[in-house]
Amino acid sequence: MRVFTAIDLSEDLKKEVSEISQKIFKEIPLRLVARENLHLTLVFLGERDEEELEKVKKTLSELASSFSKFTLSLQNLAIFPDNKRPRGIWFNAGGQKEKAFSLYKKLIDGLLKEGLMLEREHFEYSPHCTIGRIPEKIKMPGNLNKKIARVNLNKEFLAEKLILYQSILSPKGPEYFKLGEYGLR
């Protein structure tokens, strides 16, 4: 199953991000992430079997019990992977990014200690909140960066729990299912 780890967003922030997403959707045809599924992605882990999932859950549980809550923010919008071949739009993370990086590093170290094999792409640190994906068949005219440059949220939130999600991509948009929640201390 395709899984990733994330930091949950507050309901108020999910509402605000969803409203921004709806406005952007009027200009850019996105498959929007549903409001209830908005989150800050920490580490994408790819396809994992049941045995590996248990190791991921153990690592998340141990990490959460030893890591303090901290403040992050959602800031500017960005296109991924780049403006020449856009696949989606996300908010970059701000705030106490050094704490988020420490959490990320400890998570990666814990997974490696548990014997999980990680692909090179799993080591890329890029905390973000995806708001939507651009369907492959749609060719975007002009410079997308100009269309999203005026959106700057810079809204803080408390990172208080880690979530393990299963991700299923479909033509209607991504579907996420919580496999576990781990409260930070």
CA dihedral (50, 63, 153, 80) positive or negative: negative
The CA dihedral of 65, 9, 170, 52, to the nearest 10 degrees, is -10
Alpha carbons 17 and 157: distance in angstroms, whole number: 12
Adjacent-strand bridge partners of 128: 41, 92
Closest CA to 100 of 40, 142, 46: 40
Catalytic residue among 48, 128, 133, 155: 128
122 is catalytic: no
128 is catalytic: yes
CA dihedral (23, 178, 122, 135) positive or negative: negative
Catalytic residue among 39, 48, 133, 155: 39
* Tokens read off for 182: 């781990």
For residue 81, whether the previous peptide bond is cis, meaning omega lies within 30 degrees of 0, is: yes
Residues with a known catalytic role: 39, 128
